[in-house]
A and B are shown apart, each in its own frame.
Chain A
Amino acid sequence: MLSSKASSNCHGQDSLYFLGWQVYEKNPFHEVENPTGIIQMGLAENQLSFDLVESWLRKNPDVMGLKNKDGESVFRDLALFQDYHGMPAFKNELVEYMAKIRGNKVKFDPNNLVLAAGATSANETLIFCLADPGDAILLPTPSYAGFDRDLKWRTGVEIVPIHCSSSNGFRISMFALEEAYERAQKLNLKVKGVLITNPSNPLGTTMTKDELQSLITFAIDKDIHLISDEVFSGTVFDSPCFISIMEAAMDSNLKRNTDVLSRIHIVYSLSKDLGLPGFRVGMIYSNNQTVVSAATKMSSFGLVSSQTQYLLSYMLANKKFTSNYMKRNQKRLKKRKEMLVSGLKKSGINCLKSNAGLFCWVDMRHLLCSNTFEAETDLWKKILCEVGLNISPGSSFHCSQPGWFRVCFANMNQSTLQVALRRIKDFVERSSFNYQQNGGSLSRKLISNWVRKLSSADREEQER
């Protein structure tokens, strides 16, 4: 009676990534009202720099009030503005902001920018433009859990993973890339492109120029597209500095291939660095006019509210604000990440070295009772329900190695993070104590059972 899309679970939201949120919502932590509740560490949001935005808003009440510089209401114009080409002033500011994030090493043309209701919409739209149902996109793992819904659900496109492993810091190797491509061929899937997230979610790392250029060469060689989801580009807080796919493509060697730019597409959004996920501002940038044209028409299905375009065009036009925001936001992110990393280290837990993002990729392999995803899920459940932290298990990111977790650090205040770190410390200490008590392997269990039986008589006497 309903479509298969509606009645099945191919929306991909049954993953532990989303289930953790549901459990959190039933018992959310609050410093005062619910101090024993679950702390949300599975949501990659930036709440560290709102004060900077709020300060700008206070100084510019007219813009919020939908008035122009002369104090006249622009409500009527905005209420009627539904042009899917987007507000020109807004797009002009967006491309300048994007260039600024990239150290002005690349320049963007506002005519090549297509607005969408968030990166969620932008990614889906790009897939509709570049692939047909049954085609495939290669995606390096671990990758954002939401891609199963965004890239596959309504488009009918398949995802074929490019397996990355901790052996080389989860970098994309040419070998892994070729292997994924061949796997797709074996499955009779036509590969239409590769989608990378740079900086990476969930790794928090930025790609090197070599990696990017290898990907571009691969795309040219196989005559496929390359989508670079750069939603976290504004969250790079440490060296090495961010290299956009556009910058890598500008290299003279690659430029010789005149159509290289027509196969590279960027996705961006204001949800991560500016911390405005509720305002639904996403975009596609492409030099391919056919893609821009089709994507623009498709954006009808998810336009950005004109009220929001107006507000943000003014905010981004204030260059002093954007410079100050970028600098201070990055500092705060760095500080907060360092707090998480050092806190975890005190509990004997290491993180993948990262320089970007709103999360760390945390190595908890040593806490698993076995090197399996079942053990990872058990650990995840314990941490969620007993320790009270909603962190996201690597399996929900399709990581091929059990034991890795994504832990977010920017969506809470400092004292909450400290509570979380204390809880982890206690848990780790308890776990190792239990380990010493009960043993981690069958033989230890047997021995301790035997020891217990022998000494039970003694103990019983003591307990009396």
Chain B
Amino acid sequence: WLAKNPEAVGCKRDGQSIFRELALFQDYHGLPAFKKALVDFMAEIRGNKVSFEPNNIVLTAGATSANETLMFCLAEHGDAFLLPTPYYPGFDRDLKWRTGVQIVPIHCTSSNCFRITASAIEEAYQQAQKKNLTVKGILITNPSNPLGTTMTRPELNLLINFITDKQIHLISDEIYSGTVFNSPSFISIMEALKDMNMEKNNRVHIVYSLSKDLGLPGFRVGAIYSNDPTVVSAAVKMSSFGLVSSQTQYLLSVMLSDKKFRNHYIVKNQNRLLKRQRKLVSGLEKSGIRCLESNAGLFCWVDMRHLLSSDTFEAEMELWERIIYDVKLNISPGSSCHCNEPGWFRVCFANMSEDALELAMQRLKSFVGSIKKHNHQESEKLRKESHIGKWIFRLSFQSFNEQDQR
């Protein structure tokens, strides 16, 4: 697309240079053409089941900035937000660091595929109360990072009812919304609200970014969408601390205004993500490793519990160190995502070539093979090291040794 559209990148419009105009453009309301193109793109990702108002969008330097800004707008120092676990490790920095806001986890477990339950939410809310923390809202990531799953309608409705009841906010971080490659199809929080006739609800806010689906993290394009004009007004002023480069706004306004490109990109990208995810899943299966069934995201949530030497986070750390240093794969341990069950890992699949993924799978296969052999030898050793075993071991040691040397 860039090759065919040199004007977009060359700061030109209809053959005329608009460099000057862009170089001076620092209006925190953002380039109107870009906001329009962005809301159209967001609507398209949601199958045009919802539409967005450009005036309700605030541009920020990445979702990192958007999330922090929303915290500053919705919570005081010392207030709390509830977050379902496992969650993106960066939230500990983005939501808490400079804002002084606390995160209280909503524990989700593998027993129900990490779905959010009413009791888990209630329990988290009460935990916060016990700690004397004022809960200001819930932040969900949908599709989920690190799970790679999209939320179901019942989950979304449950959340909407909860926040309405407690009169708190709901932030839906939908930065992976463009990476849904399989059914079930993505249901945005906006769609869920619309179906409950609560479309104009002013306590629900969306965070988006072009870093994940469009693969442009370097360009720092994030956005907050809110129906609350006070939030929009405050967030817009705060966006002064992280505006999007006008040069980038212009390039992307031209690109995203191109309907043909948008459609083409969304479809092709999703096909490739699906193919690549399947490659990872089947590759892991060959090593006897299963993944949580997922339909979105750029990663799988991988179950390595059976490879742990014990059901503990220490064992998870040991396994992780071995995988980093010996197998030489940088995968992310579930503990870093605040998962409360040891043994889960997030493994990304979209940031490398197919060959590199192939190689990673081979390495993992060898590693798992060696663990099995080692575990077998260890359990043999353990058996032989019991009191009777020791005696038998001493007797048979010679014969074992002889075998080994052959």
By a CB distance below 8 angstroms, the chain A residues around B219 are: 78-79, 305-307
Contact B98 A307 (CB under 8 A): no
Contact B218 A80 (CB under 8 A): yes
Contact A117 B73 (CB under 8 A): no
By a CB distance below 8 angstroms, the chain A residues around B2 are: 66, 73, 75
Known: A3-B74, A149-B240. A303 touches B19 (CB 8 A): no
By a CB distance below 8 angstroms, the chain B residues around A1 are: 167, 203
Considering only residues 361-394 of chain A, those with a C-beta below 8 Å from chain B are none
B251 at the A interface (CB under 8 A): yes
A137-157 CB contact bits vs B (8 Å, 1 = yes)? 000000000000110011010
Contact A121 B231 (CB under 8 A): no
Contact A278 B93 (CB under 8 A): no
Considering only residues 48-74 of chain A, those with a C-beta below 8 Å from chain B are 50, 53-54, 57, 61, 64-66, 73
Nearest-neighbor residue (CB-CB) of B233 within chain A: A6
Q: How far is the CB of B405 from chain A (nearest CB, A)?
A: 52
Contact B61 A301 (CB under 8 A): yes
Known: A61-B10, A301-B65, A301-B68. A2 touches B234 (CB 8 A): yes
Known: A2-B74, A80-B217, A311-B247. A301 touches B19 (CB 8 A): no
B214-232 CB contact bits vs A (8 Å, 1 = yes)? 0111111000000010110
Contact A308 B247 (CB under 8 A): yes
Q: Which of A61, A82, A121, A305 contacts B241 (CB 8 A)?
A: A121
Contact A50 B246 (CB under 8 A): no
B315 at the A interface (CB under 8 A): no
By a CB distance below 8 angstroms, the chain A residues around B243 are: 117-118, 280
B196 at the A interface (CB under 8 A): no
A169 at the B interface (CB under 8 A): no
Mostly, the B contact residues are: helix
One of B21-29, B285-293, B354-362 at the interface: B21-29
Q: How far is the CB of B246 from chain A (nearest CB, A)?
A: 3
Q: Which of B11, B23, B93, B234 contacts A11 (CB 8 A)?
A: B234
Q: How far is the CB of B17 from chain A (nearest CB, A)?
A: 6
B72 at the A interface (CB under 8 A): yes
A124 at the B interface (CB under 8 A): yes
Known: A297-B93, A301-B242, A302-B242. A3 touches B76 (CB 8 A): yes
CA distance A279 to B244 in the complex (A): 8
B6 at the A interface (CB under 8 A): yes
Scoring A73, A278, A300, A307 by chain B CB atoms within 10 A of each residue's CB, the highest score goes to A278
Q: How far is the CB of B118 from chain A (nearest CB, A)?
A: 23
Considering only residues 341-363 of chain A, those with a C-beta below 8 Å from chain B are none
Contact A306 B98 (CB under 8 A): no
By a CB distance below 8 angstroms, the chain A residues around B179 are: none
Considering only residues 220-272 of chain B, those with a C-beta below 8 Å from chain A are 220, 228, 230-231, 234-235, 237-238, 240-248, 251
A35 at the B interface (CB under 8 A): no
Considering only residues 36-50 of chain B, those with a C-beta below 8 Å from chain A are none
Nearest-neighbor residue (CB-CB) of B248 within chain A: A305
B84 at the A interface (CB under 8 A): no
CA distance A176 to B70 in the complex (A): 39
A102-146 CB contact bits vs B (8 Å, 1 = yes)? 000000000000000110110010001000010000000000000
By a CB distance below 8 angstroms, the chain B residues around A120 are: 240-241
Scoring A53, A271, A306 by chain B CB atoms within 10 A of each residue's CB, the highest score goes to A306
Contact A6 B74 (CB under 8 A): yes
Interface size on A, residues (CB 8 A): 57
Nearest-neighbor residue (CB-CB) of B217 within chain A: A82
Known: A279-B246, A301-B241. A307 touches B218 (CB 8 A): yes
Nearest-neighbor residue (CB-CB) of B2 within chain A: A75
Q: How far is the CB of B264 from chain A (nearest CB, A)?
A: 17
Contact A54 B19 (CB under 8 A): yes
By a CB distance below 8 angstroms, the chain B residues around A117 are: 61, 220, 241-243
CA distance A5 to B61 in the complex (A): 20
By a CB distance below 8 angstroms, the chain B residues around A150 are: 240-241
Considering only residues 42-92 of chain B, those with a C-beta below 8 Å from chain A are 61-62, 64-65, 68, 72-77, 79
Q: Which of A4, A149, A304 contacts B245 (CB 8 A)?
A: A304
CA distance A281 to B232 in the complex (A): 24
A433 at the B interface (CB under 8 A): no
Contact A276 B167 (CB under 8 A): no
Contact B218 A79 (CB under 8 A): yes
A41 at the B interface (CB under 8 A): no
CA distance A118 to B94 in the complex (A): 20
Q: Which of B61, B97, B231, B241 contacts A124 (CB 8 A)?
A: B241
Q: Which of B61, B73, B245 contacts A3 (CB 8 A)?
A: B73
Q: How far is the CB of B63 from chain A (nearest CB, A)?
A: 11
Contact A53 B19 (CB under 8 A): yes
Contact B75 A3 (CB under 8 A): yes
Nearest-neighbor residue (CB-CB) of A270 within chain B: B23
CA distance A367 to B319 in the complex (A): 78
Known: A118-B243, A280-B243, A280-B245. A5 touches B17 (CB 8 A): no
Q: How far is the CB of B59 from chain A (nearest CB, A)?
A: 11
By a CB distance below 8 angstroms, the chain A residues around B19 are: 50, 53-54, 57
Contact B230 A50 (CB under 8 A): no
Nearest-neighbor residue (CB-CB) of A308 within chain B: B245
B20 at the A interface (CB under 8 A): yes
By a CB distance below 8 angstroms, the chain B residues around A6 are: 72-74, 230-231, 234-235
Contact A305 B244 (CB under 8 A): yes
CA distance A149 to B28 in the complex (A): 14
CA distance A6 to B203 in the complex (A): 14
By a CB distance below 8 angstroms, the chain B residues around A278 are: 22-26, 245-247
By a CB distance below 8 angstroms, the chain B residues around A80 are: 215, 217-218
Known: A3-B72, A45-B24. A307 touches B217 (CB 8 A): no
Scoring A3, A61, A120 by chain B CB atoms within 10 A of each residue's CB, the highest score goes to A3
6 of the cross-chain contacts (CB-CB < 8 Å) are A3-B79, A82-B211, A278-B245, A279-B246, A301-B68, A307-B248
Given pairs A6-B234, A118-B240, 20 additional interface contacts (CB within 8 A): A2-B228, A6-B230, A13-B237, A66-B2, A75-B2, A117-B242, A120-B240, A128-B98, A277-B26, A278-B22, A278-B26, A279-B246, A280-B243, A297-B93, A300-B64, A300-B93, A301-B61, A305-B244, A306-B218, A307-B245
Interface residues of A (CB under 8 A from B): 1-7, 11, 13, 45, 47, 50, 53-54, 57, 61, 64-66, 73, 75, 78-82, 117-118, 120-121, 124, 128, 133, 149-150, 153-154, 156, 271, 275-280, 297-298, 300-308, 311
The 9 closest A-B pairs by CB, nearest first: A306-B218, A278-B246, A6-B234, A302-B242, A305-B245, A6-B73, A278-B25, A81-B218, A277-B26
